[in-house]
Structure 1
Amino acid sequence: QSKAESCNSFCPASATEVVYGGNIDNSATEDGKPYSELPNAFRYRDEIVSGCTCNGKDPVGLAAVKIEDDPTLRKGDIVAGKDGLMSVSRPDRRGASLNFTPAPERIRAKYERAPVLARE
């Protein structure tokens, strides 16, 4: 799946374009056109545009993406779910489905919190 296809899968009800850069103010398209020169650049800062929506229903709603289908996940990423913190592994075959295994104890311990108790 290309970067453009991945981007569009997150917002299938709207036109999308991939821009590159560490900061949106200095980002540019693959062919070098600055984000600031795109027709709707920075418009999101001032208004919610009717009809411009990711899920096609809500003005700010995102399209639902199953975690198993998330093209941005990479081997070693940690995700939180109903089974706790899980580590992502991806088979070597391109396009193969993701596998999830419990995150290593050292990772789980880092993010576990002791319950807060109050006494009168």
Structure 2
Amino acid sequence: MTNVMQSLVATGHTIRGVCYAKSSYLNQAIAALSAIPPERVGLNGEYDYYGLAKRIKASYHSQVGRDAVKQITVKQRGSAVILSGQVDTLDLLDQLVNLALHTEGATHVEVHDVQVNVLELAQPARVA
């Protein structure tokens, strides 16, 4: 490396934007840059900016059924999953939230303006 610097200085060249690193660190950095962040992995393992939302929607279709989630919208903001729309029951909404939370790349789920068609709350036990 000193030979490189001496020859560059001797010839009067300007050095801009050079980064020196240990070869082991450089290999790790290149590997990290080539890896796709979990929230950006698409349906087939490719890079997809909205990959998390698409994988969650596909999971909903296979786990719950297309008809049950036809009026729910899944969006993502980074690793945050955003659900909106309409579901039949509160239990279904709970199931959708849990499925999203267990999808690789999701850190949290936000529920915005979800209409629940049948809202059955648990009744407190009656004391005799």
- Is TM (by shorter chain) over 0.5? no
- Structure with the greater relative contact order (CA < 8 A, sep ≥ 6): 1 or 2? 2
Structure 2-normalised TM-score? 0.20
Taking structure 1 as the reference length, the TM-score comes to 0.21
Which structure has the bigger radius of gyration? 2
Structure with higher strand content: 2
